[in-house]
Amino acid sequence: MTASAEQPLLAIDAVGKRFGGVIALDDVSFSVGAHSVVGLIGPNGSGKTTLLNVINGVFAADHGEVRLSGIRIDRKRSCELAATGLTRTFQAARVFRTLAVRQNLFIPLLHQSALDRTAASARANELLELVGLTKHAESIASEISGGQQRLLEFARALVSRPRLVLMDEPFAGVHPQIKTLLVRCIRDSVAREGTSFIIVSHEVPDLVAMSDFMVCLVEGRTAATGSPATVIQNERVIEGYLGRA
């Protein structure tokens, strides 16, 4: 594991979730260390999005525990988790469409009591710069391209300096240039701000390159966890997801 042995940033312990007859998650356990990237892979329908939803309070787990820095979070609301530094992006970018790009970045800051207007502006500008949207700061969010909306959503997740960001298929259907930019931004915030990420993606080579740790789900179970190299060579992962070349 990437975390120091005593207390990981996020600990997922025997989490289970079913929808009617479908077992979406079955005893999933792993942990995420501080300033690290965890790559989450698995075939469609294997429970990746459900796991993110459970971690971030959209669904309650049927059983098991999720802890953030040792504190139980599996019965908390998403908005409470945002305040403790856990946020996410969605499988399809979801921005506040009629607001200006810059205004989108203010929404997560509304709830930070310590932050004043000047500091908020400075922080927003910093992120606009990071994701290359400075020129579009005053554009209406629905009027920028899909790829730019993804960058905006990413910036919106980071603006409040979260400790952990969950990203659901951030590279699906985006232009290679934007993908490169996203990857660079993720690396940058791990290195500079100590943010951790759980990234769901089917772009296995990219994920292998950027992850410190990987998890593969197959039919709701953890088929393998470990270093990227070991996970992609794991028999069950090849069998259940990657297929034989």
Ligand X SMILES: Nc1ncnc2c1ncn2[C@@H]1O[C@H](COP(=O)(O)OP(=O)(O)O)[C@@H](O)[C@H]1O
Interacting residues with other proteins (CB under 8 A): 56, 58, 77-79, 82-83, 87-88, 90, 94-100, 103, 106-108, 110-111, 117, 120-121, 134-135, 137-138, 156-157, 160
Nearer Cβ to ligand X (22/60):
22
Q: How far is the CB of 18 from other proteins (least distance, A)?
A: 22
Query: Mapped to the 3 state alphabet, what secondary structure does 204-237 carry?
Result: HHHHHHHCCEEEEEECCEEEEEECHHHHHHCHHH
Token pair for residue 103?
A: 């205004």
Q: How far is the CB of 5 from other proteins (least distance, A)?
A: 31
Nearer Cβ to Mg ion (49/149):
49
Q: How far is the CB of 25 from other proteins (least distance, A)?
A: 20
Contact at 8 Å (CB) between 171 and 201? yes
Nearer Cβ to other proteins (42/108):
108
Residue 10 near which of Mg ion, other proteins, ligand X, none (CB within 5-8 Å, type-dependent) = none
Q: How far is the CB of 41 from other proteins (least distance, A)?
A: 23
Nearer Cβ to other proteins (107/238):
107
Q: How far apart are CA 178 and CA 116, in angstroms?
A: 31
Residue 234 near which of ligand X, other proteins, Mg ion, none (CB within 5-8 Å, type-dependent) = none
Q: How far is the CB of 127 from ligand X (least distance, A)?
A: 27
User: Beta-carbon neighbour count of residue 188 at 10 Å?
Assistant: 13
Q: How far is the CB of 73 from Mg ion (least distance, A)?
A: 21
Nearer Cβ to other proteins (36/160):
160
**For the residues of the chain, what is the DSSP string, one character each?**
--S-SS--SEEEEEEEEEETTEEEEEEEEEEE-TT-EEEEE--TTSSHHHHHHHHTTSS--SEEEEEETTEE-TTS-HHHHHHTTEEEE-SS----TTSBHHHHHHGGGTT-TT--HHHHHHHHHHHHHHTT-GGGTTSBGGGS-HHHHHHHHHHHHHTT--SEEEEESTTTT--HHHHHHHHHHHHHHHHHH--EEEEE-S-HHHHHHH-SEEEEEETTEEEEEE-HHHHHH-HHHIIIII---
Residue 238 near which of other proteins, ligand X, Mg ion, none (CB within 5-8 Å, type-dependent) = none
Q: How far is the CB of 95 from other proteins (least distance, A)?
A: 7
> Which residues in this chain contact Mg ion in the complex, by CB under 5 A?
49
Nearer Cβ to other proteins (138/235):
138
Nearer Cβ to other proteins (69/78):
78
> Which residues in this chain contact ligand X in the complex, by CB under 6 A?
19, 22, 24, 42, 44-50
